[in-house]
Structure 1
Amino acid sequence: MPIPSRAALVGHLVQHRIAGDVATPRENNLSHYRQLANGDRHYWLGLELGDRWSDEQDVLAVMAERCGVNDDPGHRAGQDTIDPELTAAALDRLAARLRKAAAGRERVLFATGHPGGLLDVHRRTAAALRAAGCEIVRIPGGLTADEGMVFQFADVAMLERGATLWHTHSPAPMAAILDGLEHAGRPLPDLVVADHGWAGCAGQRGIDAVGYADCNDPALFIGEAEGALQVTVPLDDHILDPQAYDPMTDYLLDAAGLL
């Protein structure tokens, strides 16, 4: 499959509803923005936001700027959007950070709270960085968090409960990994590539972190706005056909010089 041009990528993102008119409804987006503003830490994704984002309209403004949701506070129900041009621009910024990692042969940790959607995106990126000479961080064994096991499959850390990979927004699994590395006297990652609370926790601890986030997960976009995350890529993080992410990953890895 040829590497898509930027214009072709944008069209692909819209066609497969990775961006453009996405499946997440406006009501769900606004509910999450409100709960973040009300101080519900489940929606902070491991970041410490204090009282800086207590106004729901401020959260909406950031999401309109960085994700491309409708900026009209009067739009309360129905369709919402992710701007595919913002997705492409964020992928370009992410590619630049991956190029830096490859050039410096950095230690990189991959993790996902969305194994049903983004696992292969992370797996392919990890394989490309490994081939470029990076060390893909192996997590310590025996880690637990949120009544589950933190383990690694195909170079990507995930949460498992009852032999099932779990969708989780929690920062606790990443905290367990970072604490486990420190306890073992091993160096922390130079870069974390993740999503949800896995990315937020790493960024909060001062580690270079980049992540993917949906339009109903505002915390990582706020983290980028405040400098806790280096890049947040807006996209629908669990589409019906995860193989549709493949051209996006091809574009990212080619832009990073990793293909």
Structure 2
Amino acid sequence: MSKFTFIRSIRKMYQFVVDKPLQQGTIINNLYKIKHVIGSGSYGIIYNCKEIQTNEIRVLKQLRPSKQRTKSEVSLFENEISIISKLQHASMPQFYEAFSVNGSLFYSMNYIEGINMEDLIFSTNRKYVEKDALAFILDLLPLVDHLHKKNIFHGDIRISNILINKGKLFLIDFGLSKIEQNDSKFLELRQYDYYDLGDVLLYLLYTNYSSKNKKALPWTEELSLEMETVHLLKRLLQIDEAYSTLESIAQDIETALLAVTKK
């Protein structure tokens, strides 16, 4: 075993020991009673809780104990708190408070009812034809626009970070988000969110694809799409000239939807 592999194994063992989720029924900050773990990421553990005073459901996010020893990880967590406190949108998490208990860092937010798109697609075998996929991205644009007007770059727009409830979309997980006041730098950061939109669109389009070839081909050959949709995807994925505004993206989606409707 190499020295690198040994150190990595020790680190994983340490994380396994110290990063155990809090048990059901645990009361945090004399206010939140844990019901169950919603999920865990690379540096956070997320709980479904009941607020004792109001009896309402809340979401509690804890920075993994193994990450609390690193200033950079703590800084990322504090950055996420700062960004969520600025969102102020009904389709995004609503921040309540941040606090520390026995050295562990937490923050609370509202519970958003819905199913994430990844689970929806895999559990129900949901298919998105070209028209539906385009309409989905068009519905997502106002959320991205809200962030960009606040100079917030999401940085992780993907299927698993989009919830849906009765046709309404919600954008979550701001762990990789940044606020950038420098206009030229923010223009560069926006391109990553635009690319993610293209990636989400491509993902949705592939839900309606059945492979007939043993050899994987580029999406331009595998998917049968209107040329307007191909044009949109190539610009989002920066194969062709990248978009510079959400308005131009919305216009091209509308054009593609019109082409699909006329088919």
Taking structure 2 as the reference length, what is the TM-score of the superposition? 0.30
Of Structure 1 and Structure 2, which has the larger fraction of its residues in strand?
2
Taking structure 1 as the reference length, what is the TM-score of the superposition? 0.30
